[in-house]
Structure 1
Amino acid sequence: MSLPVLICDDSALARKQMARSLPASLNADISFAEHGWDAIEQLQAKDFRIMFLDLTMPELDGFGTLEEIKKLGLKIPVVVVSGDIQPKAKERVLGLGAKAFIQKPMDKEVLKQVLRELIEPPQQVTSVTPVTFELPVVKRRDIYMEVSNVSIGRAADALARHFDVFVELPLPNVNIFEVSELHMALKDLAENSQVSGVCQGFSGEGIAGEALVLLSDSSVSDLKKLMKVPADSEDLEELELLMDVSNILVGAFLNGLGEQAEVRFFQSSPVLLGQHIPIESVIQSTMGSFSKTMTFEVSYNIEGTSIRCDLLFMFVDESLPLLDHKLSYLMEDF
């Protein structure tokens, strides 16, 4: 007897990893969904025994999917598998009816324990004819999207714990830019507002680059309120706040990336690019640093505030073959 399983994740790599991680004894009959609405449609058309659900997805994210499942009265045990590991995210998904939470990258032993709790032993017997299914095709960009997704989740978790807030975590953007395209992307980040910007260099085993942390003036004002810093406080206190945010986000992201690439990254002290300045001034500070770069970019929003923090990682050209090599194991079947 086969076990119908639904795996919902926008990442082809994550879908493949999840499928490969399921024990053969389940004889899983696996279906895939790329976002929440796709999953809901499949849940209404077929009876599944268990569902694995990502949180950060386009169209309808994991939180919205759980709400929709509850609203429709669909009876399906849901296991959330996500890089968004902040405490309030876990609390919310369990409150919405998820049966378990597994953080990415996934530990197979944790998965086995969850399956033991949710799947009855008789349904773990292998049938005579194993079910076959087609695995997703994984491309280079899929790898970088999933790796950055896990890393920005680590950064959001660090920020959430430090300020005791819930950080809304959108999908990351991964691109390879010429320097002129990078400057256009920076302009899009800040839109029309003035910003305060901090830069930190980083390196590890020949992989190097710079991280930019940008906060709009309105974000700085709300951040000071959140930290109960007087609105008319000295620039020095505001600068310390900026440096703290930069160290938290950049350090946690690099730790997440380093765990996956097995690289120990070192980061330099944050350098102030300017406070309350137009984005053009930040762009000028990056002139000459890169000719072409791969970037990871994400905008963090803190729930209930207007705080938006843009985080941009830029890797120098020479680093890309080394980073490709470090992450090549993710292209392999396992």
Structure 2
Amino acid sequence: MSYPVLICDDSALARKQMARSLPASLNAEITFAVHGLDALEKLEASTFKLMFLDLTMPELDGFETLEEIKKRGLDIPVVVVSGDIQPKAKERVMSLGAKAFIQKPIDKDALNAVLRELVEKKATPQTYAPVAPVELPILKRRDIYMEVANVSIGQAADALARHFDVFVHLPLPNVNIFEVSELHMALRDLADNDQVSGVCQGFSGEGIAGEALVLLSDSSVADLKKLMKVPADSEELEELELLMDVSNILVGAFLNGLGKQSEVRFFQSPPVLLGQHIPIDSVIKNTTGSFSKTMTFEVSYTIDKTSIRCDLLFMFVDESLPLLDNKLSYLMEDF
């Protein structure tokens, strides 16, 4: 007898990792869903004994999917597997009915511990006919970088959330190879004609190098000062300190997450202020550097119940890409 399992994640790499991590003894019959709406359709059409659910997805994210499962009265134990590791995210999914939370990248010991709790034990050993092998997703280079970025930005959001005691909304990252002109267009789209404050930090490790850019709109800076209850008589100094704090927190946590996945120890330079309350074109002028083409990881964080938005971009120099590809090549392999 098989054990029907639904794995819901928009990342092809994460679906493959989850499927490969399930123990053979479970005799899992695996079905994949690529977002929450897809998962709900499959839950309505078939019966599953266990579901693994990502949080950061298009169409319907994990939080919304849990709400719909509860609303529809669907009886399915759900284990959340996510890179969004904020304490408030964990609290929220458990309050919505999830049975457990596992941090990405998947740890087999943590998974097995959850399975021991959730999978019904049989009184006597039974022999099951093996199920047909599931067709695993075919991975592309972009799939690897999207999931690696997803885990890393989750760690950055967690660091920001803990530092300011807030809940940070974590959207899907964008991963792109840009010509410099295209990068400038992307930056203008991010700024959306608003005045911004920008901080830049260089980073390097084992030949992999680039720059991180943190952008805060003027409205975000004002709200952030209110959130931190900055005294009016020290606003200018406190604002600069806040900018530097936010940059160090986000860049440091992201590089730590990327470094763990690629087994590279990254070093970051001190943050450099590009300007406060300036047009985005002034930021662009200061970040032209030596890039001719760059791979970028881009994410826009927002803080719950505020208008605060922080844009984070990591730009890798051309020469770094083959080295980073090599460091992450193990993710392309079967395991």
Same fold (TM over 0.5): yes
Give 1:235's aligned residue.
236
Give 2:184's aligned residue.
183
Does structure 1 conserve the Cα–Cα contact (< 8 Å) formed by 2:30 and 2:134?
yes
Does structure 2 conserve the Cα–Cα contact (< 8 Å) formed by 1:224 and 1:231?
no
> In the TM superposition, what is the alpha-carbon distance from 1:100 to its structure 2 partner?
0.1
Give 2:25's aligned residue.
25
| TM-score normalized with structure 1 length | 0.98
Query: Which one-letter code corresponds to 2:173 in the other structure?
Result: P
Give 1:67's aligned residue.
67
Query: Which one-letter code corresponds to 1:243 in the other structure?
Result: M
> In the TM superposition, what is the alpha-carbon distance from 1:216 to its structure 2 partner?
0.2
Aligned counterparts of 1:253 and 1:135: Cα–Cα separation in 2: 29
Give 2:282's aligned residue.
281
> In the TM superposition, what is the alpha-carbon distance from 1:289 to its structure 2 partner?
2.6
Aligned counterparts of 2:288 and 2:29: Cα–Cα separation in 1: 53
Give 2:53's aligned residue.
53
Number of residues of Structure 1 aligned to a counterpart in Structure 2: 334
Aligned counterparts of 1:40 and 1:172: Cα–Cα separation in 2: 24
Which runs of no fewer than 5 residues in structure 2 stay unpaired? none
Deviations 1:42-99 (A, max 9, x none): 0000000000000000000000000000000000000000000000000000000000
Does structure 2 conserve the Cα–Cα contact (< 8 Å) formed by 1:221 and 1:231?
no
Give 1:201's aligned residue.
202
Query: Which one-letter code corresponds to 1:15 in the other structure?
Result: R
Deviations 1:268-290 (A, max 9, x none): 00000000000000010122330
Give 2:269's aligned residue.
268
Query: Which one-letter code corresponds to 1:218 in the other structure?
Result: S
Give 1:43's aligned residue.
43
Give 2:102's aligned residue.
102
Does structure 2 conserve the Cα–Cα contact (< 8 Å) formed by 1:83 and 1:154?
yes
Does structure 2 conserve the Cα–Cα contact (< 8 Å) formed by 1:2 and 1:131?
no
- Percent identical residues: 83
Aligned runs of 1:55-134 on 2, under 5 Å? 55-122=55-122, 127-134=128-135
Query: Which one-letter code corresponds to 1:37 in the other structure?
Result: L
Deviations 1:84-136 (A, max 9, x none): 00000000000000000000011100100100100012399552333321011
Which runs of no fewer than 5 residues in structure 1 stay unpaired? none
Q: 1:278 to 1:27 in 2, by over 3 A?
A: same
Aligned runs of 1:150-161 on 2, under 5 Å? 150-161=151-162
Q: 1:194 to 1:43 in 2, by over 3 A?
A: same
Does structure 2 conserve the Cα–Cα contact (< 8 Å) formed by 1:26 and 1:126?
no
Query: Which one-letter code corresponds to 2:6 in the other structure?
Result: L
Query: Which one-letter code corresponds to 1:75 in the other structure?
Result: D
Q: 1:309 to 1:231 in 2, by over 3 A?
A: farther
Task: State which drifts further: 124-133 or 284-293.
Answer: 124-133
- Partner of 2:32, secondary structure, is strand
CA RMSD of superposed structures (Å): 1.1
Q: 1:129 to 1:288 in 2, by over 3 A?
A: closer
Aligned counterparts of 1:161 and 1:100: Cα–Cα separation in 2: 21
Give 1:251's aligned residue.
252
Query: Which one-letter code corresponds to 2:131 in the other structure?
Result: P
Aligned counterparts of 2:62 and 2:139: Cα–Cα separation in 1: 22
